[in-house]
Structure 1
């Protein structure tokens, strides 16, 4: 299980990051940095995916070229390094970013051309995802790795330096932490590639390379680099309240909204979707949250004939007796009143004889109303569970009495 997670976990994480970015992307204006961000993410995702054993083998079988996945992986790493450097140059030197990144692009292109030539002339006929163990002594492998290392080091080291530099100037804590994670992740990747260069040199010239050092570096450095960079790239977006906060509020309001919808389906612009689909849909969270608040208020308005002021008074007295006050008191009264009104509407009962309206509690603005309805939804779950337990108890007592008679 651990090996399976190590080989496939980073690729799945990269795909999850891309899904989140796609869900958010259409609302954002396209800029040079956002385009480069997509290049980096897609290159990292392809690199991690092609290294997964099943994909690695499938690519070789489709192309008829053994170990072609290794060349694709390294090409993607070079592209990701160039893209990351481009983003950080735009942040640190916006006027000179293109001019400064051009020499790196030319250098990386030359390095990749040399890698392709060496790959073509190196004999690696057996497709094996554990390439280093099988071909470490093969002529051409060390040369290939040195060219690859020479192509990636300038961009990677500059990226780590610029990320650390800008992290010190950033005022947003999430951006600051994200840049530091990127810097550490890039340095982990550099350390891994230098370690592999030393490993290939040791195998080529018959020098002992300690296995106690090689195994943990192989096992954990690339994994740490991938996770740190992916988290660093997406951290400023994932901490945003319209992802976590809005999603949490939508889910907390869902039971109350569903209960009102079942009484009056006309309140909903879009019918309820399964919970799993709602969790996976990260589009327009703020708009959906606003619409849910409006639909809950419409549901209450549709129940106005069944809202009994006597229920509200009794609920208020009971809640106050339990020590509740302020918004929690108002929320429990509102939840109890709504539950009673929904039960009456489902049963087709006549409206209460006392027509005096019950005051509508809530916030003074949208944020305040969301916070209040969040409390109401929580109280509604408590009230509905309490009534279900009472109904079950009464049913069991009736069954017991029927059995005795």
Structure 2
């Protein structure tokens, strides 16, 4: 059962670790992110060390029989401490979190040191990758070893389940709340593993065996661990999905603004911002889609400024009447009228036909709220969509009125 479940758990841990690595460079000063990354790494190592082929490999390389036991369980104790560090930083002020995090890490190191000392006192004679606990259940030293390990493990999982459930109730961010509750459920399920291991210690004193419960112990341990890792991963995947969608949306917006940009660039090529004057670092940043989108929006705004002096109030009035008759209103109406004004303004500039001062007007969408970062892009996209649909209507009307 162990060799069947551990590879699945290992795969989840590796996936989580790879997902966390993406955020580490940007959040390398965030202790919670670093601790959560360590949780996935340590969890993966604990499962890897316990798989029978790796168990045998470690025995041969390190020259100590069953050395995988303290290595794997040491990783488990370390990841339990790291989970508490994550919760501490998520739920406490930084000054208190640092002090409590050091206490958790110190306690984890103390337990690991105790496990290593007790394991050194054992006298293992042969590799026991499948039944190590059952084989040594009657050994007093191993009883002490298992008691220390399972006590730390059980207390850690109890603290984890309780803290995650309470913090999840206080957190209003959906993915974080859902993730914490999944972690709490997973930690609760692992207590089935704890119960069997506690039973192993008690059964040893009565010269009894819980061999029939071994599969149940591994099922609880692995399923609980998988749920716990999945819960920790939910907020990260949610954030990365939002970041990926934002990145895709920036590419789409950059492409959709091309038609509008070309319209201005065809009559005012000077709006194109020079890139060859940037230094090496600035050029590297200029290759990012965020910079390209910002640059395109800025150049379009410059283009609007260039043709603003060619905007005729009569064109705006006729365009408004036309689109109102088609049922447009609000921001949709302003975007459609602005698209007509742009086409008419570009044509007027090409002819050198500037309207009289009393006929000058502004763009219909000039008063649109663009206080948020993407509001400006959304406003330009609304105009670009209308410009693509009706590229010749406004110039035709202006020629008719000239």
Which bracket does the TM-score occupy, shorter chain normalised? 0.5 to 0.7
Deviation at 1:205, TM superposition (A): 2.0
Residues 1:328 and 2:325 are matched in the alignment: no
Residues 1:11 and 2:6 are matched in the alignment: no
2:35 and 2:86 in contact (8 A); partners too: no
- The within-5 A match list for 1:94-133 is 104-117=104-117, 122=124, 125=127, 133=130
Q: 2:394 matched to which residue of 1?
A: none
Comparing 369-378 with 306-315, greater Cα deviation is found at 306-315
Q: 1:374 matched to which residue of 2?
A: 378
1:149 and 1:194 in contact (8 A); partners too: no
Residues 1:151 and 2:155 are matched in the alignment: no
Q: 1:266 matched to which residue of 2?
A: 272
1:89 and 1:100 in contact (8 A); partners too: yes
SS at match of 2:337: helix
Give the Cα–Cα distance (whole angstroms) in 2 for the partners of residues 47 and 314 of structure 1.
Answer: 69
Q: 1:80 to 1:214 in 2, by over 3 A?
A: closer
2:40 and 2:229 in contact (8 A); partners too: no
Deviations 1:346-377 (A, max 9, x none): xxx97145324662324565426843641541
SS at match of 2:212: coil
Give the Cα–Cα distance (whole angstroms) in 2 for the partners of residues 378 and 60 of structure 1.
Answer: 64
Deviation at 1:185, TM superposition (A): 0.9
- The within-5 A match list for 1:250-265 is 250-251=250-251, 253-259=253-259, 263=265
Q: 2:362 matched to which residue of 1?
A: 359
Please identify the structure whose Cα radius of gyration is greater.
Answer: 2
Q: 1:79 to 1:313 in 2, by over 3 A?
A: farther
Aligned length: 354
Deviation at 1:188, TM superposition (A): 1.8
Deviation at 1:41, TM superposition (A): 1.4
> Residue 213 of structure 2 is aligned with which of 209, 224, 231?
209
Q: 1:64 matched to which residue of 2?
A: 61
Q: 1:161 matched to which residue of 2?
A: 162
Deviation at 1:40, TM superposition (A): 1.8
Deviations 1:238-269 (A, max 9, x none): 4999x589657645532244446664583376
| Structure 2 segments unaligned to the other structure (5+ residues) | 276-281, 392-402
Give the Cα–Cα distance (whole angstroms) in 2 for the partners of residues 173 and 311 of structure 1.
Answer: 50
Q: 1:75 matched to which residue of 2?
A: 74
Q: 2:42 matched to which residue of 1?
A: 47
Give the Cα–Cα distance (whole angstroms) in 2 for the partners of residues 52 and 341 of structure 1.
Answer: 69
Deviations 1:56-106 (A, max 9, x none): 878996993498777555434433432443465574587776776666544
- The within-5 A match list for 1:156-305 is 156-167=157-168, 170=170, 173-174=172-173, 178=176, 181-182=179-180, 184-186=182-184, 188-189=186-187, 191-192=189-190, 194-195=192-193, 198=196, 201=200, 205=209, 207-209=211-213, 217=220, 220-231=223-234, 238=239, 250-251=250-251, 253-259=253-259, 263=265, 266-267=272-273, 278=289, 293-301=297-305
Q: 2:84 matched to which residue of 1?
A: 85
Q: 1:261 to 1:180 in 2, by over 3 A?
A: closer
Deviations 1:17-56 (A, max 9, x none): 3423533x37xxx6xxx42x13421311312443676998
> Normalized against structure 2, the TM-score is what?
0.61
> Normalized against structure 1, the TM-score is what?
0.61
Q: 1:145 to 1:190 in 2, by over 3 A?
A: farther
Deviation at 1:218, TM superposition (A): 5.2
